């Protein structure tokens, strides 16, 4: 009989700026909770941000905390499957997208492989990550984080965070 793997706390950044980005981010948060091996712990409010190092319409963003029994590469595959289900295409780097899910943290692990880098290499530079992360996990923020994102436009949307739904 196999022993159950302990849960690891992970954080996922969500973003979309094509199609119906509000619906895409909400559906992705719900999909995180329905994915085997994942349990949604909490999600930030939704935010609107101007594209950063990208083009196209404004993004809708959030950060979710999940508890997972998946190994990091399997979690990445699960996130990519959610993206694919939302019609994600990757025509070029930083292209506008129907959905983007980035693994920010996997416990306190450090991973540097051709397919996955954790912590995410640019998480400290992006308002669309730092502001929602500050809402749900301020202990994860580096000191002086506000200075790193000065001048990046972001606003919290006036609607409540998505509710947790259990199947």
Q: Peptide bond before 30: cis, by omega within 30 degrees of 0?
A: no
Catalytic residue among 100, 108, 110, 156: 100
- Model's pTM, two decimal places? 0.85
* Catalytic site includes residue 48: no
Question: How confident is the model over 79-107, as pLDDT tens digits?
Answer: 999 988 876 555 555 555 778 899 999 99
Question: Does some domain include residue 2?
Answer: no
Question: Does some domain include residue 78?
Answer: yes
Question: Lowest mean pLDDT: which of 80-84, 133-137, 147-151?
Answer: 147-151
Q: Which residue from 115, 124, 117, 118 is spatially nearest to 106, judged by alpha carbons?
A: 118
Average pLDDT over residues 9-21: 92
Question: Does some domain include residue 63?
Answer: yes
Q: Domain range holding 87?
A: 8-155
Question: Does some domain include residue 164?
Answer: no
Question: Does some domain include residue 144?
Answer: yes
pLDDT at residue 124, rounded to an integer: 77
Catalytic residue among 26, 48, 97, 126: 97
Question: Does some domain include residue 118?
Answer: yes
Q: Is the Cβ–Cβ distance between 68 and 10 less than 8 Å? A: yes
Question: Does some domain include residue 165?
Answer: no
* Catalytic site includes residue 88: yes
The residues near 66 (Cβ < 8 Å, ≥ 6 apart) are 9, 10, 11, 12, 32, 38, 39, 40, 41
Catalytic residue among 88, 90, 110, 122: 88
Torsion of CA 23, 25, 30, 32, to 10 degrees: 150
Say how many C-beta atoms besides its own lie within 10 A of residue 9's C-beta.
14
Cα–Cα distance between 67 and 6 in angstroms, integer?
9
Number of independent structural domains in the chain: 1
* Catalytic site includes residue 112: no
Question: Does some domain include residue 58?
Answer: yes
Cα–Cα distance between 45 and 61 in angstroms, integer?
8
Q: Is the Cβ–Cβ distance between 15 and 25 less than 8 Å? A: yes
Specify the residue for token string 């693994």: 103
* Catalytic site includes residue 93: no
Catalytic residue among 26, 30, 48, 102: 102
Q: Domain containing 139 — which CATH number?
A: 3.30.70.560
Say how many C-beta atoms besides its own lie within 10 A of residue 80's C-beta.
14
pLDDT at residue 133, rounded to an integer: 94
β partners of residue 63: 13
Residue 10 burial by Cβ neighbours in a 10 Å radius (0-12, 13-18, 19+): buried
| pLDDT averaged over every residue in the chain | 84
């Amino acid at each position: 009989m196999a022993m159950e793997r302990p849960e690891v706390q992970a954080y996922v950044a969500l973003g979309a700026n094509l199609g119906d980005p509000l619906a895409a981010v909400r559906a992705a948060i719900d999909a995180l909770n329905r994915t085997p091996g994942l349990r949604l712990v909490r999600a930030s409010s939704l935010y609107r941000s101007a594209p950063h190092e990208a083009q196209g319409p404004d993004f809708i963003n959030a950060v979710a905390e999940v508890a997972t029994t998946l190994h990091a590469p399997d979690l990445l595959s699960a996130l990519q499957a959610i993206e694919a289900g939302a019609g994600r295409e990757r025509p070029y780097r930083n292209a506008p997208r129907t959905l983007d899910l980035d693994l920010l943290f996997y416990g306190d692990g450090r991973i540097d492989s051709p397919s996955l880098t954790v912590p995410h290499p640019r998480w400290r530079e992006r308002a669309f990550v730092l502001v929602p992360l500050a809402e749900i996990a301020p202990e994860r923020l580096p000191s002086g984080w506000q200075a790193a994102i000065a001048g990046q436009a972001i606003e919290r949307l006036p609607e409540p965070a998505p509710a947790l739904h259990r199947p």
